[in-house]
Amino acid sequence: MVAESLLLPAYAELFCRSNFSFLHGASHAEELVERAVKLGYRGIAITDECSLAGAPRMHVAARAAGLPLIIGSYFEVTPDEAPPGHDPGPGAFGLVLLAQNREGYGNLSELISWRRMAAPKGTYKLTPRMLSRPPEEFAHLRGMPDCFAILVPVYPVRADVLDAQVAWFRATFGERARLGLVQLQRALDGPQRDEIRAAGARRGVRVVALGDVTMHRRSCKPLQDVMTAIRVGMPVSECGYALAPNAEQHLRSRARIAKLFSADEIAQTCAILDACHFELDTLRYEYPDEIVPKGHTPTSYLEQETKQGARRRYSGKVPEHVQRRIDYELELIAKLSYEPFFLTVYDIVKFARSRNILCQGRGSAANSVVCYCLGITEVDPDQSTTLFERFISVERGEPPDIDVDFEHQRREEVIQHIYEKYGKHRAALAAAVSTYRPRGVLREVGKALGVDPMLVDRVAKGHRWFDGSRDLLQKFATAGLDPATPLIRAWADLAARLLNFPRHLSQHSGGFVISRGKLTRLVPVENAAMDGRRVIQWDKDDLESLKLMKVDVLALGMLSALHRAFDMRTAWRGPEPDGKPFMLEHIPQDDVTTYDMICRADTVGVFQIESRAQMSMLPRLRPRNYYDLVIEVSIVRPGPIQGGAVHPYLKRRRIKAGEEEGEITYPSEALEEVLERTLGIPIFQEQVMQIAIVAAGFTPGEADQLRRAMAAWKRRGDLGPYRDKIVNGMLERGYTREFAEQIFEQIKGFGEYGFPESHAASFAKLAYASSWLKCHEPAIFLAALLNSQPMGFYPPSQLVQDAKRHRVQVLPIDVTQSNWEASLEALPNQPPPHGQPAVRLGLSLVRGLGEAAARRIEAARAAGPFGDVDALARRAQLERRDLEALAAANALATLAGHRRDALWQAVAAAPDRDLLAAAPIDEAERPALGAPSEADEILADYDTTGLTLNRHPVALLRPALRAQRLSSAAELRDRPDGRLARACGIVISRQMPGTANGVMFMTLEDETGCVNVIVRPELLARQRRATLDSQLLAASGVWQVVSDVRHLVAQHFEDLTPLLGGLRTSSREFH
């Protein structure tokens, strides 16, 4: 076999599309590289259509396999538009461009950017004139210097058209022009081959062999057919000539290639490969330089700003050990030339602060005292056990990651500032690769196979958010289909193969790439779906693999809510004693009442500790100070849970508090220093790294590499090499094998997802601030949350119900009082600044009413009260749909009475603008409309605003529920552990964390509170429909009370949704 392989010609595939040629390529980049290596190819090119989106992944795979890679792209060139009698040019053809060097790569990237940004998202247009006579701005792209250009004639070819195309091609691209020959066993391949060879000989253009590859194996053909059907929007059976006639577009053996092409045509592939020297690794990224004032270097300016910030942070006297740390960080930053990166983030944060936009850095950046001094982060690393190498290390040789959260409602101001300051030619968002997910795959493949739409819908809806890709065949069985039938097997197989394929590029949540020069020469840029934004074609993983920097400008709803709450508190209670408006710094620390509330798990609406899992942990961990909150935020995460840290840590807390006998011990003094703050149990990523350093002899950089391996081992299984190093290193330092093995298992657990302490410390600050507001200013907190939607774990209906249980008076939507947003109103005998306000719901809750109409209502009302609905309609210039929306939401009650009367008056005030518009409406003939019942009011409330201020819907059903022995949440609260219990409520959340081993946590809400329900996997399997589809659910099971944590461990469900009588509620579903 080896001898035979040596006799085969050397070959490099120059025309190959991956699945980043969306719905054309049927293989992952890694599959293409692996197959090319197995076939003995000398190299391969990636030529996705008008895109370099797949290039980084292909680059990583090719580098790992030692396979030379050419970066290129394919284009469909469309004819120029020419007036009658004018030369129409060479007509349509395919074009493969291959970068020879860095300059050629920059030209290719810029061409892709030019054409993508000139067209709607997902499209492009390239004509011959754009290549031969581009506009002045792109004159340097004429003939695409430093790129090989391969003409791919359309099939079937016409001799006269081909000859003109080759002549034009030779004149445009010169010696770099090649004529591509594709042989795919089509009926006219022979004549096409002869015409191409003849045209090349006549015009002096060498012919090169091309595979036109879209898949790594021919077995991918059914998947490619399905993708074609999805692309053209019809079933495979109706696609006709849109489908490839055979499976020849795969990576073929060299023996097969030798039979299809001449020796020279094959040799040309390797000649081009040898002439292309560009690798993505050679890209060099330079940050903007205008952030450095004249007279400064980046190093001197960063030092100056850090020193000034240190004096502010430490009240003029910087502790000696902090100064040593500052010096160390600055030295390392300078060594790696990262000063412009820090200064760019600093500049963005300064802008936000100048506009009074709340922001806060988080993640590993909070390990940096330089970031703290610059005001990028708010956590003093000196007050926690942080590790700077978690942020930057020489060994890693990769750029740091600085995440900054901004108010989610004002982040756009920051984004537009970046565009304005640096220009859209130098700044763009990173991409996010949207992939095919299970439910969408089931739908798309089912439609492509011609399955009945109702059946497709049933199967797709049977797949829920937590199912992932597990056993798609089971979904068909659940839907009553026989998985053994050929159609169903094909459906399941093709859906599984298409799963996780890239579908399109969307925008990253906030990762900005900002360059010193033209960004388009570094990476292609295209339009985002959102107006005014542009995205690069690479995602955060691509940027990381190529060691390119990005700035994460992220959005956080709680920052918006806190800012609103601070402003409302200042407006209601006046400035603080220091004369300043109320801000984060004015919140008293270690407030006993706040921590009492937290320990009761009374945390609906509070940042980070409002989920059911966190609420279950709070009464067990019982946080009493800020650092306890840091641990609370971190411990309910897959890392500590899978690492077996939770129960040992809680046990040691009880020992420390004297509630349980035992002793807190440490394996060594060195590890006691690392783990003392968490009672000997590793909770944070930094602790795992420090254990590796002090107990196993890792360098800080090696420890960071371990962290990265931890994050990837579940996907790639590459944590193994570290096991021996950790275990042997610990044995050498006197630790037992049992302890060393235990530590390694805990490290593996952190591979699931562990928080860095610095990140948790940042979040804990916001958790405490929001808890204090909920405890001491519940009305203000509710109004701020409502005005910051969408955000958080709970929708407005649950937030309002919770606030009412905390004696907050919530006033209804009323056009004579309500603004667009929720507002504060004084209650009798409760005036500001000392009284507790009521919350007036805002017009923003009214479904179907736009903000512009609401603002007109506010403006008109400022000029005087409305006498009636007619005056409202006239003065606020409201249309009929606005008035009907207000009437339906009961917002006209003050002017028009109950809903039914209000709807009648709304129609009268703004009749339809049709032929009957002039017809008079006789008020005397208005029918007597009875007031809606309480049940009708509640139904209408939910339908028009998503919440009700009337009684809770379950309260109306209480007599019927009591007859079925269904207890309320309040009645269950004092039930002893282990008793049988039955409860009923509206399902407000379903959560299945990946660490729960298939257990679902459900929350039922009634008029007295919430019941937490534990759903075992066997019950979910037995009663899947009732568990997942019920709005009103009765649950029977065993009442469980552990450390003030109460759950109903369900044994049986009953769907009581019909009792709601059409009431539409919603639950939030989470991993």
State pLDDT tens for residues 707-726: 777 665 554 555 667 788 88
Asked if residue 609 is part of any domain, the answer here is yes
Q: Give the total number of structural domains in the chain.
A: 7
* H or E element that contains 406: strand 403-407
- Confidence check: pLDDT of 957 > 90: yes
- Confidence check: pLDDT of 262 > 60: yes
822 and 839: one domain?
Answer: yes
- Is residue 524 within 8 Å of 51, Cβ to Cβ? yes
Asked if residue 524 is part of any domain, the answer here is no
pLDDT digits 0-9 by tens, 1008-1065? 999 999 999 999 989 988 998 899 999 999 999 987 789 999 999 999 999 998 887 7
The pair phi, psi for residue 360, each rounded to 5°, is -160, 125
Cis peptide before 156 (omega within 30 of 0): yes
Asked if residue 1059 is part of any domain, the answer here is yes
717 and 820: one domain?
Answer: no
726 and 816: one domain?
Answer: no
Asked if residue 238 is part of any domain, the answer here is no
Residue 694 CA, distance from chain mean position: 36
pLDDT digits 0-9 by tens, 876-888? 999 999 999 999 9
711 and 656: one domain?
Answer: yes
Instruction: Please indicate whether residue 982 or residue 738 has the higher confidence score (pLDDT).
Output: 982
Residue 1005, helix vs strand vs coil: strand
Instruction: Please indicate whether residue 286 or residue 867 has the higher confidence score (pLDDT).
Output: 867
Asked if residue 863 is part of any domain, the answer here is yes
* H or E element that contains 359: strand 359-362
Residue 33, helix vs strand vs coil: helix
- Is residue 551 within 8 Å of 512, Cβ to Cβ? yes
Q: How many whole angstroms separate alpha carbon 222 and alpha carbon 228? A: 10
pLDDT digits 0-9 by tens, 426-479? 999 999 999 998 889 999 999 999 999 988 888 887 776 555 545 666 667 767
Mean per-residue pLDDT of the chain:
90
Q: What is the pTM of this model?
A: 0.88
814: exposed, middle or buried (C-beta count within 10 Å: 0-12, 13-18, 19+)?
A: middle
What are the angstrom distances between the C-alpha of 450 and each of 220, 229, 237?
19, 10, 8
- Confidence check: pLDDT of 41 > 70: yes
Enter the tokens of residue 584.
Answer: 């984060």
What are the angstrom distances between the C-alpha of 465 and each of 470, 734, 992?
11, 47, 9
Q: What is the pLDDT confidence band of residue 916, given thresholds at 50, 70 and 90?
A: very low
892 and 904: one domain?
Answer: yes
Decide the pairing of beta strands 12-13 and 43-46: parallel
Q: What is the pLDDT of residue 922?
A: 53
Q: How many whole angstroms separate alpha carbon 804 and alpha carbon 798? A: 10
Cα dihedral value 161, 166, 171, 174, nearest 10: 170
- Confidence check: pLDDT of 10 > 60: yes
- Confidence check: pLDDT of 269 > 70: yes
Decide the pairing of beta strands 1045-1055 and 1009-1015: parallel
* H or E element that contains 1032: strand 1032-1042
- Is residue 799 within 8 Å of 782, Cβ to Cβ? yes
210 and 305: one domain?
Answer: no
816: exposed, middle or buried (C-beta count within 10 Å: 0-12, 13-18, 19+)?
A: middle
Decide the pairing of beta strands 534-539 and 1000-1006: unpaired
- Find all residues with CB under 8 Å of 356, minimum gap 6, and list them: none
H helices of 140-203, in order, are 159-173, 189-203
Enter the tokens of residue 553.
Answer: 């400008």
- Confidence check: pLDDT of 745 > 90: no
- Confidence check: pLDDT of 546 > 90: no
Instruction: Please indicate whether residue 75 or residue 290 has the higher confidence score (pLDDT).
Output: 75
Mean pLDDT of 868-883: 94
Q: How many whole angstroms separate alpha carbon 56 and alpha carbon 591? A: 51
Domain span holding position 381 = 283-422
- Confidence check: pLDDT of 748 > 50: yes
765 and 616: one domain?
Answer: yes
Q: How many whole angstroms separate alpha carbon 927 and alpha carbon 950? A: 27
Enter the tokens of residue 676.
Answer: 């003392």
Q: What is the pLDDT of residue 982?
A: 97
Asked if residue 850 is part of any domain, the answer here is yes
Q: How many whole angstroms separate alpha carbon 808 and alpha carbon 824? A: 11
For residue 363, give the DSSP letter: G
Q: How many whole angstroms separate alpha carbon 645 and alpha carbon 555? A: 31
Q: How many whole angstroms separate alpha carbon 407 and alpha carbon 1015? A: 36
Residue tagged 């984060």 (tokens): 584
137 and 20: one domain?
Answer: yes
Q: What is the pLDDT of residue 381?
A: 83
What are the angstrom distances between the C-alpha of 442 and each of 448, 486, 627?
10, 16, 46
Query: Residue 580 belongs to a domain with what CATH number?
Result: 1.10.150.700
- Find all residues with CB under 8 Å of 120, minimum gap 6, and list them: 527
Q: What is the pLDDT confidence band of residue 998, given thresholds at 50, 70 and 90?
A: confident
Q: What is the pLDDT confidence band of residue 992, given thresholds at 50, 70 and 90?
A: confident
409 and 465: one domain?
Answer: no
H helices of 423-556, in order, are 438-448, 453-461, 472-478, 486-498, 540-545
128 and 268: one domain?
Answer: yes
Q: How many whole angstroms separate alpha carbon 625 and alpha carbon 595? A: 7
Query: Residue 188 belongs to a domain with what CATH number?
Result: 3.20.20.140
Enter the tokens of residue 366.
Answer: 């909070």
Considering 500, 519, 541, which residue would you say is the last residue of a domain?
500
- Is residue 969 within 8 Å of 1006, Cβ to Cβ? yes
H helices of 946-1051, in order, are 953-963, 969-972, 1017-1022, 1024-1029
Asked if residue 540 is part of any domain, the answer here is no
1062 and 936: one domain?
Answer: no
- Find all residues with CB under 8 Å of 74, minimum gap 6, and list them: 15, 17, 21, 47, 48, 49, 50, 94, 95, 96, 97, 152
Asked if residue 397 is part of any domain, the answer here is yes
> Which has the minimum average pLDDT: 454-468, 493-507, 575-589, 666-680?
454-468
- Is residue 266 within 8 Å of 255, Cβ to Cβ? no
Q: What is the pLDDT of residue 915?
A: 43
Enter the tokens of residue 585.
Answer: 């710094």
Q: What is the pLDDT of residue 844?
A: 97
- Is residue 313 within 8 Å of 380, Cβ to Cβ? yes
Q: What is the pLDDT of residue 917?
A: 46
Q: What is the pLDDT of residue 792?
A: 86
For residue 238, give the DSSP letter: G
760 and 880: one domain?
Answer: no
Q: How many whole angstroms separate alpha carbon 182 and alpha carbon 208? A: 9
pLDDT digits 0-9 by tens, 343-378? 999 999 999 999 999 999 987 777 789 999 999 998
